[in-house]
Amino acid sequence: MDLQQSAGTASNMNGSVAGDYEAQLSSSGGKRGGWFTFVFVSATLTGLIIAGWGWLTNLIVYLIEEFNVKSIDATQIANVINGSINIIPIIGAVLADSFLGSFHVVSISSAFSLLGMIVLTLTATFSSLRPQHCETGSSLCHGPSKLQLAVLYTGITLASVGLGVVRFTLATLGANQFDNPKDKGIFFNWFFFFFYAGCVISSLVIVYVQDSISWGLGFGICAAANFIGLAIFFVGNRFYRHDKPQGSPYTSLARVVVAAVRKRNILLSSDSKDYCHENDGTIKTAAATPKRSFRFLNRAALKTEGDIHSDGSIAEPWRICSVQQVEDLKTLIRIFPIWASTVFLAVPIAIQTNMTVLQALAMDRHLGPNFKIPAGSIVVVVLITTAVFIALLDRFLFPNWPKLTGQSLTPKQRIGIGHVFNILSMAISALVESKRLKIAHDHHLQDQHGAIVPMLSLWLFPQLIVVGIGEAFHFPGNVSLYYQEFPVSMKSTATSMISIVIGIAFYVSTALVDLIRNVTGWLPDDINDGRLDNVYWTFVVLGSLNFGYYLVCAKFYKYQNIELEVEGSSQL
């Protein structure tokens, strides 16, 4: 999608969208939806993201400084929380599609988030809800009590559920306001623009308030932003087009497996008339048979006595499925190897994100005599780089790539380029950390717990910029691939697949860090006395092996939707 075209469309909204929308309301019994709803959706998103990223971005620092949690333990806690936040969207998608609808899911999850913000604000405001403050690394530090941890984790859990669910469910609700696919594409462009804007604001402004003024005020601003976003969302209720739950698409996938097992002893047929072709619950006969790959599953669509009624309707849903349902499951099986490689693409990024915060805490973060970069704000470099390069790639590289090579840049190629940048970022991280450790040893700081190495934290920027460039390739590439290849009934799931990948990556990174801590001495509580550079070099090797695995998977994977791939390959 051309960003200039998107901007032009958006700029024309002010003069025409209000009148168009009034015309929609006055006709057809008060039709809802359209661009007028974007005002409420974007404002809601911005408020909720400022609130969510405001507490999440600086969580490691909060745990270390206010709850006396050891540094590596704090990163492990953050990994688990990040993993949960990125796994939860699939639960929200199922609830929205199957039971409640998008509006109710966004409302409930936003309320959870607000409650979490309030609890976190209380932990930062009342000293009785925190352990006694002490210097980081001091032997006299006392950890939090069970009650203090219970209150803290209650707030984090509520806030995590809200942040995890609302992102993709709100995107679905917003896209449902449009009928024209072009309008939906423009909507997604601007949706992610406001998403990144909220992330950057919270990573800079909220984190600065937390570090320089008070944690209570910082979390309080998050709670206020959450409340304002939720209030705006409710104000727009009368204008939204509400979707109705359609039932879970996962049920049909389970039906295929069950039906295939139940018919495992039945011989397959080559006649298309022997297979079920379903449309709205009625059996249709079409000139098509299941593909030969994964032939065992084809039995699920094979018609046998008692499977259908005399009127052509399905008699036993868990014994007969349509050919399309069978092929949908096969598509997911085929794409799984590529999806698995993406998990291990995201693992190094998850580890680098949290370890970079620890590195920043042990480095000179001053910019001039009066300003000190908050450690939690360091990762905003990735967000800004990704946003900028997505725009640059969409505007310059993707339109000109066919002129240079004769073909468009495909989703698989974008993901592959992302792998390369990711490996390069890990190598840069290892080199920078080696330099930091050398300076620490030269100044004999390895024995001084919590000592600041006389090395500017700006040295961390190159690795973050490179990983941001990589995300500009592989993040949209993955979304494009899944949306293009997934079954039509699972488009909502397709857009949330990258979130699931990130969630699993954070869980895997937690396990790997635990393994490294138990097997090696590379990650002590004081990273000045460790070998974090060896951790990065390890992931350079693992990333290279994973890239080789991805190349094999990509070579053998054939696009299922060729037309979509050809038409949309030059777009994000």
Using the 3D structure, point to which of 312, 327, 342 is the last residue of a domain. Answer: 327
Reduced to 3 states (helix: H, G, I; strand: E, B; else coil), residue 475 is helix
Same structural domain for residues 72 and 128? Answer: yes
Strands 366-367 and 371-372: antiparallel
What domain range includes position 121?
1-6+27-246
Residue type, 546: N
Same structural domain for residues 352 and 308? Answer: no
The verdict on residue 534 lying in a domain is yes
Answer whether 172's CB lies under 8 Å from 96's CB: yes
Reduced to 3 states (helix: H, G, I; strand: E, B; else coil), residue 420 is helix
- DSSP 8-state code for residue 203: I
The verdict on residue 19 lying in a domain is no
CB-count burial class (<10 Å; 0-12, 13-18, 19+) for 244? exposed
Same structural domain for residues 346 and 406? Answer: yes
Please give the pLDDT value at position 11.
Answer: 39
| DSSP for 218-270, written as a single string | HHHHHHHHHHHHHHHHHHGGGG--PPPP---HHHHHHHHHHHHHHTTTSPP-S
CA 413 to chain CA centroid, Å, is 20
The verdict on residue 277 lying in a domain is yes
Same structural domain for residues 277 and 226? Answer: no
Reduced to 3 states (helix: H, G, I; strand: E, B; else coil), residue 371 is strand
Same structural domain for residues 383 and 486? Answer: yes
The verdict on residue 169 lying in a domain is yes
Same structural domain for residues 128 and 226? Answer: yes
Same structural domain for residues 148 and 210? Answer: yes
Using the 3D structure, point to which of 215, 246, 277 is the last residue of a domain. Answer: 246
The CATH number assigned to the domain holding 450 equals 1.20.1250.20
Q: How far apart are alpha carbons 216 and 126 in whole angstroms?
A: 9
Same structural domain for residues 126 and 253? Answer: no
Please give the pLDDT value at position 430.
Answer: 95
Same structural domain for residues 299 and 391? Answer: no
CA 238 to chain CA centroid, Å, is 30
Same structural domain for residues 90 and 160? Answer: yes
| 27 conformational bin, left if phi > 0, alpha if psi -120 to 50, beta if neither | beta
The verdict on residue 20 lying in a domain is no
pLDDT tens for each residue of the chain, 572 residues long: 343 333 343 334 333 333 443 444 433 334 677 888 888 998 999 999 999 999 998 888 889 888 888 888 888 888 888 888 888 888 887 787 777 888 888 999 999 999 999 999 999 999 888 888 776 555 567 788 889 999 999 999 999 998 888 887 888 788 778 877 667 767 776 787 788 788 888 888 998 899 889 999 999 999 999 999 999 999 988 888 887 776 677 788 888 999 999 988 888 888 778 888 865 444 443 436 778 888 889 888 888 887 787 777 787 888 888 888 888 888 889 889 998 899 889 899 888 888 898 899 889 988 877 888 888 788 889 888 988 888 788 788 878 888 888 787 888 998 999 999 999 999 999 999 999 999 999 888 877 877 889 999 899 999 999 999 998 888 888 877 887 788 766 766 776 787 888 888 888 988 898 899 889 989 888 888 889 999 999 999 999 999 999 999 999 888 776 444 444 433 33
pTM of the model: 0.74
Please give the pLDDT value at position 21.
Answer: 39
Same structural domain for residues 357 and 463? Answer: yes
Answer whether 89's CB lies under 8 Å from 167's CB: yes
The verdict on residue 12 lying in a domain is no
CB-count burial class (<10 Å; 0-12, 13-18, 19+) for 329? buried
Residue 138, CA distances (Å) to 69, 119, 129 in order: 11, 28, 21
Please give the pLDDT value at position 539.
Answer: 94
Answer whether 469's CB lies under 8 Å from 421's CB: yes
CB proximity list for 219: less than 8 A, separation 6 or greater: 54, 55, 117, 120, 121, 124, 210
Using the 3D structure, point to which of 246, 272, 301 is the last residue of a domain. Answer: 246
H or E element: which one contains 174? Answer: helix 146-175
Same structural domain for residues 230 and 126? Answer: yes
Nearest of 59, 387, 44, 68 to residue 206 by alpha carbon: 59
Calculate Rg over the CA atoms of the chain. Answer: 26
The verdict on residue 15 lying in a domain is no
Answer whether 393's CB lies under 8 Å from 472's CB: yes
Domain count, the chain: 3
Residue position matching structure tokens 């002590």: 524
Q: How far apart are alpha carbons 472 and 492 in whole angstroms?
A: 21
Residue 165, CA distances (Å) to 100, 104, 155, 169, 235 in order: 13, 11, 16, 6, 20
Please give the pLDDT value at position 292.
Answer: 80
Sign of the alpha-carbon dihedral angle for 454, 457, 462, 466: positive
Nearest of 97, 102, 59 to residue 79 by alpha carbon: 59
The verdict on residue 358 lying in a domain is yes
